[in-house]
Structure 1
Amino acid sequence: MELRQLEYFLMVSKTNSFTRAAERLYVSQPAVTNAIRSLEEELGIQLFDRNQKQAILTTEGQVFCKHVENIMRGVSTTIFEINELKNLNNGVLTLAITPIAGTRPIPMFLKMFKKQYPNIKLSFIEGNVPEIQTLLIEDKADLGIVILGDNNILLDYTRLGSQELVVCCSKEHCFQRKNSIELSELVNEPLILLTQNCLLRKIIIKEFERLNTLPQIAFESNHIQTIKSLVACNAGLTILPQDLCDTSLITIPLNTPVMIDIAIAIKKNKALSHAAQAFLDLAKETFV
């Protein structure tokens, strides 16, 4: 059974004539007749009473007609919705993001994307890098915004840029007048970091390990704002990307800069939706 046959059937039922149906469909009458006959043979019923001057639906044909009308309405709605998605007039884009996605270029880019595609809804799932990689591999997110450094072979990455890590302290801390600082000066200071499974924390720990030491971790949290609030009340120091620090904190650059790379991650060989492809294309135009 083909949509073409259903379209011919509805036109014959509407015009009560094979000839007029063919004229309105811009096809030959035999094409309409053969399509209806093939449909009747497939269904094993007679759809039209051909013994009258007009093509009149049989009882079975009337029942069939009601269902075909519903089918064709559904097809029309589906085509319309698909075209809306193709034209980026509708759709949902699910982004898996790390807490570090708050660095200044990312929110500005999201604002730019929303302005360019106002009808695309952005839905966010927050997690650490391993969690985001799993979400992407299991097709539970369209794209991920992550830190590079623990890459998964099942994913492709598009680098967006780099961020410098800085030491953050309260305005009451004894370091608050420093213009720069050595990482070794933090060894005896209480640090407030993201949780153990966070890649940023692993990067920071590795920098301490290069000095053959480990930091004193006083607090850990999944939330950047919680960490900044603890630092602001002088509960300890933290190390964050420069753009995540605000005026409530003192920021001190490291004498030996430590950089992190931010990237968009996608599942390899994934057929991207039009919305996801538009997001990736705009990111490449903006950052790459």
Structure 2
Amino acid sequence: MVSKELHFTRAAEKLGISQPTLSHQIKMLEQEVGYSLFNRIGKKIELTKVGEIVQQEALNIQSSLKSISSQIRAFSNVEIGELKIAVLPGEITDLVSTLCGEFNQLYPNIKVFVQTTDQVEKAVLENQADFGIGFTFNNSDMLQVTKLYDEEFYLISNENNEERKISFSTVLDSSLILFPNIHQCRQILDKTSSEFGRKLDPIIETSSIESILKLVRNGVGNSVVSRTLYEFYDTDDLYFQHIERPSLTRSIYLVMKKNSFINYAARKYIQLLVGEIERLRFDTEKVAMASLYHSLL
């Protein structure tokens, strides 16, 4: 409280104790640490470098105590609580959100919060999310990263084409309806076309997958979408072709804090997610899936 208020009297009032008592406790802590925690400049005070270290460790201890309480509640109230998921912006959010409906039917008393952020690792490390889902993650000794599956991208249209495959250069020559370049799907397309010495020039850009599918249905143009989106939306009236030379693929990863407790809600959602991945026969790694199942037991 003193490090927050930077004022002994105000801190004492917030804590409900006398100012001399608080000053004595700080002095005892400084004696135990062996260094001053505050610089006292007249009536003003500021944290010393050692004080900053002690403050951060105190916050870590406070976070650990909250985690202990959360874990105990998770054991005693298994189907009551909340689930926090961090996902990268873009089409992967559709995958996570679509499964939320089914999850809610199975566990109506668990509130689900989907946080869209480009800092998924940070959200997980700072306990703002129970787990995260994205495409690429930096190596960290504090994170457990599991590959969920590999997927390819399709060219979709409203016309049945006998050729099941199409070259990327031919894709570039077609009228395309695409996501804006903030989407990871579009970034892959931009990078690949740049390697061809070409620049994508879509006739329409929209962040709405529903709009993209509707425009393709109406024959306005074709689109390139991930298999995840193709499988999770009503696309029975559309046709797809595998893109080759080169093929466009990416990996989907799940990230959790290493050696941390996985609460009931997170375990059940991940099991639901893995079940859906297996049902759709996505390209998974058996070792990675086995390790993930083991961590959920």
- TM-score bucket (shorter structure): 0.5 to 0.7
Query: 1:220 offset after TM fit, Å?
Result: 2.3
Alpha-carbon shift at residue 80 of structure 1 (Å): 11
- Equivalent residue number for residue 182 of structure 2: 197
Structure 2 CA distance for aligned equivalents of residues 263 and 274 of structure 1: 20
What does 1:1-288 correspond to in 2, within 5 Å?
A: 84-87=73-76, 88-97=78-87, 98-102=90-94, 111=102, 115=106, 119-125=109-115, 127=116, 130-133=118-121, 135-146=123-134, 148=135, 150-153=136-139, 155-171=143-159, 176-245=161-230, 246-256=235-245, 257-267=247-257, 272-277=262-267, 279-280=269-270, 288=289
Q: Cα–Cα, structure 1 residues 136 and 226, in superposed 2: closer, same or farther, change >3 Å?
A: farther
Per-residue deviation at 1:278?
5.4
Query: Amino acid of the residue matched to residue 253 of structure 1?
Result: H
The letter of the residue matching 1:183 is F
> Contact between 1:156 and 1:267, CA under 8 Å: does it hold in 2?
yes
8 Å contact kept, 1:114–1:120: no
The answer on whether the counterparts of 2:99 and 2:273 sit within 8 Å (CA) in structure 1 is no
Separation (CA, whole Å) in 2 of partners of 1:82 and 1:265: 19
Q: Which runs of 5+ in 1 are unaligned?
A: 1-78
Asked if the contact 1:93–1:142 (Cα under 8 Å) also holds between the matched residues in 2, the reply is yes
Deviations 1:68-118 (A, max 9, x none): xxxxxxxxxxx9997552242211001233423545x99569847964x56
Check whether the contact 2:86–2:114 (CA below 8 A) recurs between aligned residues: yes
The answer to whether the 8 A contact 1:99-1:223 is kept is no
Equivalent residue of 1:275, what SS? Answer: helix
Check whether the contact 1:170–1:234 (CA below 8 A) recurs between aligned residues: yes
Q: Following TM superposition, by how much is the alpha carbon of 1:268 offset from its aligned partner in structure 2, in angstroms?
A: 5.5
One-letter code aligned to 1:247 = D
- SS for the counterpart of 2:173 is coil
CA RMSD of aligned residues (A): 3.7
User: SS state of the match for residue 181, structure 1?
Assistant: strand
TM-score (norm 1): 0.56
Letter matched to residue 146 of structure 2:
T
Larger radius of gyration: 1
Aligned CA distance change for structure 1 residues 100 and 283 (closer, same or farther; 3 Å): closer
Q: 1:197, 1:203 → 2: CA distance?
A: 11
Q: How far 1:254 moved relative to its partner? A: 1.5
Contact 1:160–1:264, Cα closer than 8 Å, also in 2:
yes
Which residue is equivalent to 1:66? none
Q: For residue 212 of structure 1, report the CA deviation from its aligned partner.
A: 2.5
Size of the aligned set, in residue pairs, is: 201
Q: 1:167 to 1:82 in 2, by over 3 A?
A: closer
Q: Which runs of 5+ in 2 are unaligned?
A: 1-67, 279-283, 290-297
Decide whether aligned partners of structure 1 residues 161 and 82 sit closer, same or farther in structure 2, where only a CA change above 3 A counts. closer
Helix, strand or coil for the counterpart of 2:152? strand
User: Could you tell me which amino acid in structure 2 is paired with residue 89 of structure 1?
Assistant: E
